Amino acid sequence: MSKHIEESYALAREVYASYGVNTEDAMRRLASIEISLHAWQGDDVVGFENINHALTGGCQVTGNYPGRARTADELRADLEMALQLLPGTMRVCLQGHQVDRMLPGRDRDQFSMDNFSAWLAWAQEHRLALDIAPCFYSHPKLDHGLSLSHPDPAIRRFWIDHGKAIRRIGAEFGRVLGRPCVCNFWAPDGFKDTPADRDFPRRRLLAALDECFAEEFPENELLDAVEPKLFGIGSESCTIGSHDFYLTYAARRNKLICLDSGHFHPTESVADKISAICCQQGRILLHVSRGVRWDSDHVIILNDELLSIARECVAWDYEKQIYFCLDFFDASINRIAAWVIGTRNMQKALLCGLLEPRQELIRLEQEWDFSARLALQEESKALPWCAVWNEFCRRAGVPVGFDFLPQIRAYEQQVLSLRG
Ligand code: RNT
Ligand code: ZN
């Protein structure tokens, strides 16, 4: 098997060389792109506060496949299993309620490293960088669908303090692990029906964010991101943190804008936004997800949307300005399979982008030969990228192709199926 992989790769390498593409360079670049594995696929966005807050804020996880991680220990074991099956450089991203322990009488506004220390030790042991996001939902203080923009100062205070607490924890992750932690703010705030006042809630969100971000941390410890959304379930008529709101905010305050591929109108291209933002020195956090008819957070598949997003990330060497985080959650299939399938698809898409015969395409474009450009774009879809992908996996010591599934099945039998 391994011999076939190497032989196929040798042939593919020559084919690509004839198009002016160096497959070794492509694999080197792919290996250097860090992808943040979103821990919330493993616990169905439930968190470990042991209070069983219902999932609110418009996010929904459907399915009850056995084996959801019920504790942070179980989640870490599951992540380890998934990470073994993934090539390339991985990080892990947590939600602010995925504490590894609760402390008596301390709610989210008072979380500290005491609530996350086992995560830090685990990341150190596995040489992983950590990212984090405050969790402004699934809590009774999300009132009438509002958190940071709520009119009641006491409710705002609670959420502002949560945001500050999570940033502090993130900065410590970054400091101890020696790699900056990306801390992403997404708040579900919005109105189901037409509000009389769209302005004041936005001013309140603005002031609340400024307060959250007032404490300064060096960029080698913490990078702040803000995540807009077009609409959500329960906020169909007005989302306080809309795209225009946060894009302007990120530009003014030097934050990363988070582009979630499920957060735009279905005909709007996230891929097209990448150069528009990056060419102005902007940095982007990507939440790579797949909406089916709505922001449903399906496991990402190797479709045109994913390919075009990945292509735009690598085509102009923007991958150093882009932070890749996955954001899908499916509880109707094995959760580890979901992580592995989706993450490998992200990496395959990036590889396809890296293997594109770009110099030739650009040359044709500069010569106004749009017929040949289209011809080559289409022909290049059938180039043997999969032989390069298999070789990439082989060199990384992870299963090639479908071979990752038996290990997931074995883990399901030995571990996941025993969870109640
Ligand atoms: C919600 C946002 C957000 C969430 C996570 C779980 O629409 O995409 O990033 O997916 O907080
Ligand atoms: Zn998201």
pLDDT for residue 1 is more than 90: no
pLDDT digits (tens, 9 = 90+) for 226-268: 999 999 999 999 999 999 999 999 999 999 999 999 999 999 9
pLDDT digits (tens, 9 = 90+) for 338-391: 999 999 999 999 999 999 999 999 999 999 999 999 999 999 999 999 999 999
pLDDT for residue 317 is more than 80: yes
pLDDT for residue 2 is more than 90: no
181-202 exposure pattern, b = at least 16 Cβ within 10 A, e = fewer: bbbbbbbbbbbbeeeeeeeebb
Atom of ligand 1 nearest to the CA of 135: 11
Atom of ligand 1 nearest to the CA of 232: 7
pLDDT digits (tens, 9 = 90+) for 18-29: 999 999 999 999
In this predicted structure, what is the pLDDT of residue 39? 98
Catalytic residue among 327, 330, 356, 412: 327
**Unique residue bearing structure tokens 């410590």:** 172
Does residue 304 carry a catalytic annotation?
Answer: no
pLDDT digits (tens, 9 = 90+) for 384-411: 999 999 999 999 999 999 999 999 999 9
Pocket test for ligand 1, best of 182, 287, 294, 324 (most atoms within 8 A of CB): 287
pLDDT for residue 52 is more than 90: no
User: For the chain, what is the mean pLDDT?
Assistant: 97
CATH of 28-358 given 3.30.56.10, 1.10.260.40, 3.20.20.150, 3.40.50.2000:
3.20.20.150
Q: What average pLDDT does the segment 63-75 reach?
A: 97
In this predicted structure, what is the pLDDT of residue 51? 87
In this predicted structure, what is the pLDDT of residue 50? 87
CA angle 245, 166, 177 (to 5 degrees): 115
Catalytic residue among 189, 295, 312, 391: 295
**Unique residue bearing structure tokens 């379930």:** 233
In this predicted structure, what is the pLDDT of residue 92? 99
Is residue 66 a contact partner of residue 416, using CB atoms and an 8 Å limit? yes
Phi, then psi, of 71 in degrees rounded to 5: -135, 165
Atom of ligand 1 nearest to the CA of 258: 9
CA dist 304 to 240, 261, 271, 301, Å? 30, 12, 10, 9
Name the residue with the closest Cα to ligand 1, atom 8.
260
Q: How far is the CA of 373 from the centre of ligand 1 (A)?
A: 38
pLDDT for residue 73 is more than 90: yes
What SS3 state is found at 232? Answer: strand
Phi, then psi, of 382 in degrees rounded to 5: -100, 10
pLDDT digits (tens, 9 = 90+) for 130-139: 999 999 999 9
In angstroms, rounded to a whole number, what is the distance separating the alpha carbons of residues 218 and 70? 34
Which residues form the pocket of ligand 1, taking CB atoms under 6 Å from any ligand atom? 40, 45, 59, 95, 133, 186, 227, 229, 260, 287, 295, 327
**DSSP H or E run through 37:** strand 34-38
Does residue 100 carry a catalytic annotation?
Answer: no
User: For residue 379, what are its two tokens?
Assistant: 């022909």
Q: Nearest Cα to 244, choosing from 225, 255, 257? A: 257
pLDDT for residue 53 is more than 90: no
pLDDT for residue 420 is more than 90: no
pLDDT digits (tens, 9 = 90+) for 272-286: 999 999 999 889 999
Strand partners, 181: 222
pLDDT for residue 154 is more than 90: yes
In this predicted structure, what is the pLDDT of residue 323? 98
pLDDT digits (tens, 9 = 90+) for 181-231: 999 999 999 999 999 999 999 999 999 999 999 999 999 999 999 999 999
In angstroms, rounded to a whole number, what is the distance separating the alpha carbons of residues 89 and 364? 34
Is residue 202 a contact partner of residue 149, using CB atoms and an 8 Å limit? yes
What SS3 state is found at 24? Answer: helix
In angstroms, rounded to a whole number, what is the distance separating the alpha carbons of residues 87 and 65? 26
Does residue 161 carry a catalytic annotation?
Answer: no
Q: How far is the CA of 229 from the centre of ligand 2 (A)?
A: 8
In angstroms, rounded to a whole number, what is the distance separating the alpha carbons of residues 68 and 43? 5
Instruction: Give the domain ranges of the chain.
Output: 28-358
